[in-house]
Every structure is written in C-alpha cells, then in structure tokens.
Amino acid sequence: MADLPEGEAAPETGELPASVGVGAAERTFSVYLHVPFCAERCGYCDFTTYTNAELGGGGSAAEYADNAIREIELASKVLARPEPAAEGMVPRPASTIFLGGGTPTRLPAADLGRMIGAVRDRFGLAEGAEVTTEANPDSVDRAALDELVAGGVTRVSFGMQSAVPHVLATLERTHDPERVPRVVRWAREAGLDVSVDLIYGTPGESLADWRTSLDAVLAMEPDHVSAYALVVERGTRMGAQVRRGELALPDDDDQAEKYELAESMLAGAGYGWYEVSNWARIAPGDDPSSGRLLHASRHNLAYWRGGDWWGVGPGAHSHVGGVRWWNGKHPVPYAARLRAGLSPAVGRELLSEESRELERLLLGVRLAEGVDLARPGEEPAYRRLAILHRLVAEGLCEPGPARSGRVRLTLRGRLLADSVVRDLTD
Ligand SMILES: C[S@@+](CC[C@H](N)C(=O)[O-])C[C@H]1O[C@@H](n2cnc3c(N)ncnc32)[C@H](O)[C@@H]1O
Ligand code: SF4
C-alpha cells in the first residue's frame, strides 16, 4: 500500500483552524466514505484495503458502519464549531457522496444505507445530490442493487477493467466478464446511473484485446466510462513480478495508441471527455466542447475544482479550505481512536496560498473545461503565459482559449498531460 505523506501531527480533537471558514459558502461540500475491504487483493492494487483474514479487534467489516458513523458525527461537530470565522461551514449540505474502496459492496447494502443516512442526518443532502458507490461485478446481485437505491445510492461504478479473460487473469481479477453486462442491466433497471472502469496497458494486452474491451463497453451503453492507464506501484505483487522480469510493461507508444483508440471509439459512440481519463454519454442540453456533461461524475469534479470534502475511513484523505489531512491506514487503530472519542487523523498539511494556486492548476489542466492560468481578476504571470504559448505551438494546448490565458488540452496534449502539468507548474 502507498505510504502516507509527511506532514505535521493532526490534533486529536480533529479541530480545524478558523481560516477554513473563509469563502466556504462558495465551495461545495462532499463526503468520501472509504470501505477498506476486498474478497481478494488484486495484484496491481495499491489502495488501502484488507481481506477478512487480515482483520479483527474492532476493525472488522461487521463493525465498520458503526465506526464510520462515529467519524461522520465527529466531522459534523468539527465543521459546526461556532467560531465566527467558520460560519460558512455550518449550513452546507453534501452535494455528493462517494462510497469507494476497497469494495463497498462487500458490506450489506443496509450498512451502506446507514452510512448515507448518517451524512443526511448530520449535514443534509443538497437537492439532486449524487451518491455513488463502487462495486465489483461479482459483489452485487439484483436485490442488492435495489436495496442500494432504497438506501439513497443514485449511481454505481463497476470495476470491469477488461472484457478479455487473459487480461483479467494477469490483473488477478476474480469476476466472470460475462457477468458485467448483466449487472449493468440490473443497475439500470434499478434506476441507477451506471459507470464502468477500464484499465489499459496490462502486460500481454494487445491492441485487439483493448478494442474488444471497448466494444464490450459500448454494447452495454453505460452513462459513464473511466479508462486508466495501468500504474504499477512498488510494493504490489505486480510490481514484484515486473521487477523479476516475469511481466513486461507496454511502452509509451502502446499506451498512446490505446488512449487514442478509446477516444475515437467513445467519441464515435456519443461520449464526450470531461477529464483526461473520464468520458460521459452526451445528453440533450450538454455542451461537450466545454466538457459540461450531465452524466459526468460530480464528485470527482468537486475534487478537481478544489471543493471541500471530508474523507471518512482508514487511510482516507480530506481537504477543507486549504487544510489537508489523512487518517491512519489500519482499521483496528482507526476504530479504537473513534471509540475513545478521538480523531483518526494522523497527519495534516496547511497549504500556503502558493501551493493552493499550484494545486488549482495541477487539477484543472486535466479537465476539458480547461483552467485559467491566473485567478479571477488577476493577470497571468508573464513566464507562465510564455510557456502556454509554447505549448500551443507544440500542438498540446488549444490556441483559442490560450488567447485569454486559459489552458485547454488538445488530444495530443491529453496524451502528454503529465508533462504539460510539469511545464506549467515548474
Ligand atoms: C479503488 S478501485 C475500486 C473498485 C473496485 N474495488 C474494483 O476494483 O472493481 C477503483 C478503480 O481504480 C482503478 N485502479 C485501481 N488500481 C489501479 C492501477 N494500479 N492502475 C490503474 N488503475 C487502477 C480500477 O479501474 C478500479 O476500478
Ligand atoms: S477489488 Fe478493487 S480495491 Fe480491491 S484489491 Fe481489487 S482493485 Fe483493489
């Protein structure tokens, strides 16, 4: 699992500086509920997640909803402190909730419903709030999907990864690819918005394999598709297989070709990109040229646009008004601290104005709506503007938006998004 960042110690009460209230009324508020349990750990996965055999001592899946609800209660107290500067924090209902993992659907749907209910009771839910849960295709059936809807879920994101058996085997995925269209159909019948996650660039995956996966996705007509280039992290089983030479990683050209194929097949079938790795089915009234799409994930957009969010659960990260903090990873001390009335946060970072500005650029560059080089009412720094013009000349950013100091990636720029970000933020 990835290491936690370094930072200062977080206060045991979870309290936040009064400065987080400044401008809060203009920012959206979201809740991320991390569910750190999986049936098996996939060889490539670096997320904070545990199998049953690894847990006990108050940190088990059966006790998890109660522990998470304790953190939701702590969050509502911390954010409702009556200091005048924090006033803006109090009345904000959650615009989005995201249950991620791990495999949230390892827990009974009733437990997920109780966690959503706790957010609703403590914060309120905004009108039309988006409530997403991730799910493995083999962790839900039709009845569970109906129960999730009854519990307040509006959207489901299935970890499909690939439709090709040898690719799924290399990824150590346990689900049967034939089950995916079935769960997608059940989810739609239950009234959910449906997203599927894909991974490209798995060792041994050919371009034809990737086309097969994309064809399978298009046949299901989901509302939303995420396609991620495989990241092989140190410390994972796949990382060790690559180090030992048992698996060979694809080169950059292979990855670029697969990204371009995804873009052309998805665009051809009526999907628009709104973030480098995310596409949504274009709906009436959408404006694809600016990435404004009804079926885009509003939760992820809230992260990328610098909204406030509280991350509940072991290893979860939070960000409110320029303060970032993170919880300890193991479910047992997580549960023990909450039971003792303490915050599970183990570290935090107070972002300077300069780092908040850098982060705004870093996240905004990857969005189809683009991002202004300068904050509203300010002139872009000459040096940054010169870099943007060079990126336009290299065909990485669009010339029209650049004339008013806005960065918007071209298709070539999306392929090289990391290097564009590096150039602009160096
Ligand atoms: C946290 S996972 C949870 C979803 C669910 N547990 C599943 O795997 O079906 C969310 C998504 O991140 C992506 N992902 C996870 N590890 C990845 C990696 N090493 N490289 C690229 N994408 C990854 C996968 O597409 C996965 O569906
Ligand atoms: S099921 Fe999802 S979260 Fe769990 S180990 Fe696999 S990729 Fe990671």
CATH classification of the domain holding 288: 3.20.20.70
Q: What is the predicted pLDDT for the residue at 89?
A: 60
Tokens of 73: 């209660």
Q: Within this chain, do residues 147 and 237 fall inside the same structural domain, yes or no? A: yes
CA of 196 to the centre of ligand 2 (A): 14
Tokens of 202: 């798995």
The answer to whether the CB of 231 is under 6 A from ligand 1 is: yes
**Phi, psi (degrees; rounded to nearest 5) at 264:** -70, -40
Mean pLDDT of 41-50: 90
CA of 284 to the centre of ligand 2 (A): 35
- What residue owns the CA closest to ligand 1's atom 16? 45
Strand locations in 68-136 (E): 94-101, 125-135
Q: What is the predicted pLDDT for the residue at 40?
A: 87
For residue 15, how many C-alpha atoms fall within 13 Å in the half-sphere facing its CB?
A: 8
Specify the higher pLDDT residue, 102 or 167: 167
**Distance set, CA 24 to CA 10, 31, 122, 250, 306 (Å):** 21, 15, 18, 44, 11
Q: Does residue 35 sit within a domain?
A: yes
Tokens 């009804």, residue? 294
Q: Within this chain, do residues 133 and 230 fall inside the same structural domain, yes or no? A: yes
pTM: 0.95
Q: What is the predicted pLDDT for the residue at 6?
A: 73
Q: pLDDT band at residue 59, thresholds of 50, 70 and 90?
A: confident
Domain containing 65 equals 18-310
Tokens of 106: 């390892």
Q: What is the predicted pLDDT for the residue at 81?
A: 65
Q: pLDDT band at residue 84, thresholds of 50, 70 and 90?
A: very low
Q: Does residue 102 sit within a domain?
A: yes
Tokens 């960000």, residue? 319
Give the residue from 255, 281, 310 where a domain finishes.
Answer: 310
Q: Does residue 416 sit within a domain?
A: yes
Mean pLDDT of 118-142: 96
State the sign of the Cα–Cα–Cα–Cα dihedral 400, 401, 405, 407. Answer: negative
The answer to whether the CB of 257 is under 6 A from ligand 1 is: no
Say how many domains are in the chain: 2
Q: What is the predicted pLDDT for the residue at 50?
A: 87
The answer to whether the CB of 159 is under 6 A from ligand 2 is: yes
Share of the chain above pLDDT 70, in %: 96
pLDDT > 50? residue 241: yes
Q: Does residue 111 sit within a domain?
A: yes
Q: Which atom of ligand 2 is nearest to the CA of 44?
A: 7
Q: pLDDT band at residue 88, thresholds of 50, 70 and 90?
A: low
Nearest to 76 by CA among 64, 93, 63, 59: 93
For residue 269, how many C-alpha atoms fall within 13 Å in the half-sphere facing its CB?
A: 21
Q: What is the predicted pLDDT for the residue at 239?
A: 95
pLDDT tens string 326-378: 999 999 999 999 999 999 999 999 999 889 989 999 999 999 999 999 887 88
Q: Does residue 235 sit within a domain?
A: yes
Q: Which atom of ligand 1 is nearest to the CA of 160?
A: 9
Q: Which residues contact 316 (CB under 8 A, 6 or more apart)?
A: 32, 34, 48, 326, 327
pLDDT > 90? residue 28: yes
Mean pLDDT of 391-398: 98
Q: From CA 79, how far away is CA 394, in angstroms rounded? A: 46
Q: Which residues contact 14 (CB under 8 A, 6 or more apart)?
A: 74, 75, 78, 342, 343, 345
Q: Does residue 71 sit within a domain?
A: yes
pLDDT tens string 175-193: 999 999 999 999 999 999 9
